[in-house]
Amino acid sequence: MTTSNYTSLIKTEAKRLGFDYVGISKADFLEEDAPRLENWLNNNMHGQMSYMQNYFDKRLDPRLLVPGAKSVISLLLNYYPSEIQADDSAPKISKYAYGKDYHDVIKEKLNHLLEFIKENIGEVDGRAFVDSAPVLDKAWAKKSGLGWIGKNSNLINKSSGSFYFIAELIVDLDLEYDGAIKDYCGTCTKCMDACPTDAIIAPYVVDGSKCISYFTIELKENIPNEVKGKMENRMFGCDICQDVCPWNRFSKPHNEALFKANEELLGMKKADWEELTEETFRRVFKDSAVKRTKFIGLKRNIDFLK
């Protein structure tokens, strides 16, 4: 079989497993991203996310993660929900956390894909990555033609917007590579104008330490008083810069049963959240990414919004 056959085989299986888009790029040093990442870290835009400083070289070169790596297979999985929280006055949770924790769902699909590659192609060494290792997933998705990086630093797909999880398989297998596409943001600055904490400090530059997602998920100490009244009722994550993006008018509800929104979560009213107990937290977020904040963290966020 040729690299063309291998590529076609892998992309067909990825789609069968439920991934919406698949792109492949050569496993090489991310030359363009190196100075950008260095500058971002030097300016402390990672805030207290100290893990972002770790494995700098590995973030830029996949061959340090998988010896002999030749290809990065980037995959997108839609999470745009068909329903949102019923009570508009209730504290809001980012759409990506409505259903089962995406790490678990996607890791299983990736492992199936890697097994498929080994069974149908032969001895292939590879590793699966889902937002939990030093991989610049948006950079790889961009290189493999799955979209462009918008001014809000999210990957935007021309056909379907930006409500996607990004994952990778890095393998020591030569494949056919897809090329990057152009940037279609144009003169639009809607995401920058809408950010309530001014976290998008310049086109394509997000100061992570000013982002609502950072305050509600990553920050372990008290949320700074200077953002009081600027959180737009967000208690876990933030979708504002995506909600206003014109490209997300093309977003369609996902087809992944495990991402189906927890009905109890969607039905909770403002008072239910303000009176949240640890028992309810454990029940509602049993398999959710929201578990990451723990009860005490989510309660802190809710109380800050009052």
Chain segment 263-282, per-residue pLDDT in tens? 999 999 999 999 999 999 99
Confidence of residue 51 (pLDDT cuts 50, 70, 90): confident
Confidence of residue 235 (pLDDT cuts 50, 70, 90): very high
Domain for residue 185, yes or no?
Answer: no
Identified catalytic residue from 125, 131, 172, 183: 131
Average pLDDT over residues 5-31: 97
Q: Point out the domain boundary residue: 171, 198, 217.
A: 171
Amino acid sitting at position 93: I
**113 vs 131: which has the higher pLDDT:** 113
Domain for residue 300, yes or no?
Answer: yes
- Residue 78 parent element (H or E): strand 71-78
Domain for residue 92, yes or no?
Answer: no
Q: Point out the domain boundary residue: 137, 171, 205.
A: 171
**Do residues 204 and 167 share a domain?**
no
CA distance 72 to 177: 9
**Do residues 132 and 250 share a domain?**
no
The answer to whether residue 239 scores a pLDDT higher than 80 is yes
**Do residues 60 and 116 share a domain?**
yes
Domain for residue 89, yes or no?
Answer: no
pLDDT in tens, 92-115: 999 999 999 999 999 999 999 999
Least confident of 49-63, 141-155, 162-176, 234-248: 49-63
Domain that holds residue 164: 3-82+100-171
Closest CA to 216 of 192, 232, 202: 232
Predicted local confidence at residue 133, as pLDDT: 82
Domain for residue 226, yes or no?
Answer: yes
The answer to whether residue 21 scores a pLDDT higher than 80 is yes
**Do residues 52 and 136 share a domain?**
yes
137 is catalytic: no
CA distance 186 to 63: 34
**Do residues 221 and 291 share a domain?**
yes
- The DSSP letter of residue 180 is P
Q: Which residues are CB-neighbours of 167 under 8 A, at least 6 positions away?
A: 74, 75, 77, 106, 109, 110, 128, 129, 130, 131, 137
**Do residues 147 and 57 share a domain?**
yes
Domain for residue 159, yes or no?
Answer: yes
**Do residues 138 and 226 share a domain?**
no
Closest CA to 142 of 128, 154, 130, 127: 154
Two tokens at 145?
Answer: 């033609």
Mean pLDDT of the chain, nearest integer: 96
- Cβ atoms of residues 151 and 200 within 8 Å: yes
**Do residues 15 and 121 share a domain?**
yes
**Do residues 202 and 289 share a domain?**
yes
The answer to whether residue 132 scores a pLDDT higher than 80 is no
Amino acid sitting at position 68: G
**Do residues 104 and 18 share a domain?**
yes
Predicted local confidence at residue 55, as pLDDT: 83
CA distance 78 to 147: 14
CA distance 24 to 7: 8
Handedness of CA 117, 119, 121, 124 (dihedral sign): positive
Q: Are strands 234-236 and 92-93 parallel, antiparallel or unpaired?
A: parallel
Predicted local confidence at residue 131, as pLDDT: 86
Average pLDDT over residues 169-185: 97
Domain for residue 182, yes or no?
Answer: no
Q: Burial level of 45, CB count in 10 A (0-12/13-18/19+)?
A: buried
Predicted local confidence at residue 54, as pLDDT: 83
**Do residues 63 and 31 share a domain?**
yes
Predicted local confidence at residue 52, as pLDDT: 85
Domain count, the chain: 2
Domain for residue 91, yes or no?
Answer: no
pLDDT in tens, 178-208: 999 999 999 999 999 999 999 999 999 999 9
Q: Point out the domain boundary residue: 119, 143, 171.
A: 171
**Do residues 111 and 212 share a domain?**
no
Confidence of residue 259 (pLDDT cuts 50, 70, 90): very high
